[in-house]
Amino acid sequence: MYYPYLRAKQFELLALREFAETFGDESKLIPIIEPVKKGFNSLKTALLKMKEKGMAYAVILNPKVGELVTEYTELELFLFDINGKYENWVPAFIVTNKNSTGIKRKIESLELNNVLLICQDNVDHEDPVFTQLVEIENVKSVVIDGDNRSLRRKLNRIGKDIIRIDDQFKAQKKNADYIHIPEERFTEEHTCYTDEGFYGFADYTVLDSNFADGGRLPYAVAMHFTYKKNEEEIWVRHFVSDTNDDNTNIQGKFGEAAEKAVNFFNEHHITSTAIEELKVYFTNDQYPGLGVLKKLSIKHHLELINSVLSNE
């Protein structure tokens, strides 16, 4: 099972919503969603679509970035109103060295089940308070760094489902930096996670794992699309505009990057609903906006991993 980790921003949620519309009833993934906005309209629309399609999803009740870092009550009320007793909803918590007791109390007071814990790298797994948290029956699965072998052994002993998370996307400081990196290896976890004893694997899709809200017009337009390069490896290809001296004519920059992407997909016979949407924008000389380009990259990656897991 694949657990893409996404922040609940507009175009991340739109990617999930459109994926659910097409593949929700045959999904091989459970997105982990970290709410970051005080307004819940986009989140509500995405969750209701996944719920309608019978797709499982995890939502973090104690986000650590964005606008909800210290305001959990409103988020809790919203999630219970949307999900109720929906069996495919996975309540999730980010565990630090200071909040194990509070999470345990919250799980018990809200009578949560099927709970997923996300352990930050610096969690002291020998802390008795942490042990008390992970040992409760209500906690079903735990997300850990792929290299944390000692925590993995502990969780194996107490029978928890373990999900490996890796930061696979190597983000550059500027979009133009990708010009010198046409493609790079992304992952092969889909082929080996079960052999290594993991229940599932996770990553941040084709996004930087570091949270950033907002931004400014770039000098270069870059699109990042994953593809199956061989039987074991998935690589990511970077398509970048050529005229990158200033931040004017973004539509023209999009055309330059999109032409490279469309030519590559046609040459290698790669397709997805996201790629077909990109081709329509390119053919019609229509610039959809940077947010839509991000949506397309995410949605394509979700479709690719779902297809790979469905065919195994």
Domain for residue 4, yes or no?
A: yes
- Are 73 and 107 contained in the same domain? yes
Domain for residue 305, yes or no?
A: yes
- Are 125 and 176 contained in the same domain? no
- Are 16 and 144 contained in the same domain? yes
Q: Give which of 257, 255, 166 is closest to 209, Cα–Cα.
A: 166
Q: What is the pLDDT of residue 310?
A: 92
Q: Give which of 6, 75, 10, 5 is closest to 215, Cα–Cα.
A: 10
Domain count across the chain:
2
- Are 112 and 182 contained in the same domain? no
Domain for residue 156, yes or no?
A: yes
Q: What is the pLDDT of residue 83?
A: 87
- Are 111 and 248 contained in the same domain? no
Mean pLDDT, the chain, rounded, equals 94
- Are 49 and 99 contained in the same domain? yes
Q: Give which of 183, 189, 221, 214 is closest to 203, Cα–Cα.
A: 189
The 10s digit of each residue's pLDDT in 144-167 is 987 788 899 999 999 999 999 999
DSSP of 26-90 = G--B--EEE---S--HHHHHHHHHHHHTT--EEEESS-SSSTTTT--HHHHHHHHHHHTT-TTEE
Q: What is the pLDDT of residue 147?
A: 78
Q: Is the pLDDT of residue 82 over 80?
A: yes
The pair of three-digit structure tokens given for residue 208, joined into one six-digit string: 């930087």
Q: Is the pLDDT of residue 62 over 80?
A: yes
Q: What is the pLDDT of residue 31?
A: 98
Q: What is the pLDDT of residue 241?
A: 97
The 10s digit of each residue's pLDDT in 12-59 is 999 999 999 999 889 999 999 999 999 899 999 999 999 999 999 999
Higher pLDDT, 290 or 212: 290
Q: What is the pLDDT of residue 230?
A: 92
Cα dihedral across residues 23, 307, 202, 10: positive or negative: negative
- Are 36 and 152 contained in the same domain? yes
Q: What is the pLDDT of residue 202?
A: 97
Q: Give which of 182, 283, 197, 290 is closest to 229, Cα–Cα.
A: 182
* CA–CA distance, 87 with 193 (Å, rounded to integer): 25
The pair of three-digit structure tokens given for residue 102, joined into one six-digit string: 């509070």
The 10s digit of each residue's pLDDT in 132-146 is 999 999 999 999 987
- Are 133 and 15 contained in the same domain? yes
Amino acid 263 reads: N
Query: In 262-292, which positions are buried (b, 16+ CB within 10 angstroms) versus exposed (e)?
Result: bebbeeeebebbbbebbbebbeeeebbebeb
Q: Is the pLDDT of residue 263 over 80?
A: yes
- Are 76 and 216 contained in the same domain? no
Q: Is the pLDDT of residue 179 over 90?
A: yes
Helix, coil or strand: residue 302? helix
Domain extent, residue 157, equals: 1-165
The 10s digit of each residue's pLDDT in 201-245 is 999 999 999 988 776 789 999 999 999 999 899 999 999 999 999
Q: Which of 165, 200, 223 is the last residue of a domain?
A: 165
* CA–CA distance, 261 with 91 (Å, rounded to integer): 38
Per-residue pLDDT band for 253 (boundaries 50, 70, 90) equals very high
- Are 144 and 9 contained in the same domain? yes
- Are 89 and 19 contained in the same domain? yes
Percentage of the chain exceeding pLDDT 70: 99
Q: Which of 165, 197, 224 is the last residue of a domain?
A: 165
Count of helices and strands (H, E) across the chain? 10, 11
Look up the pTM and report it: 0.95
Please list, in sequence order, all residues whose beta carbon lies within 8 angstroms of the beta carbon of residue 50, skipping any fewer than 6 positions away.
Answer: 16, 17, 20, 24, 31, 56, 57, 88
Q: What is the mean pLDDT of residues 100-129?
A: 92
Q: Give the angle 167-202-53 at the CA atoms, nearest 5°.
A: 135
Q: Give which of 83, 72, 59, 70 is closest to 7, Cα–Cα.
A: 59
Domain for residue 197, yes or no?
A: no
- Are 15 and 151 contained in the same domain? yes
* CA–CA distance, 92 with 19 (Å, rounded to integer): 21
* CA–CA distance, 27 with 12 (Å, rounded to integer): 17
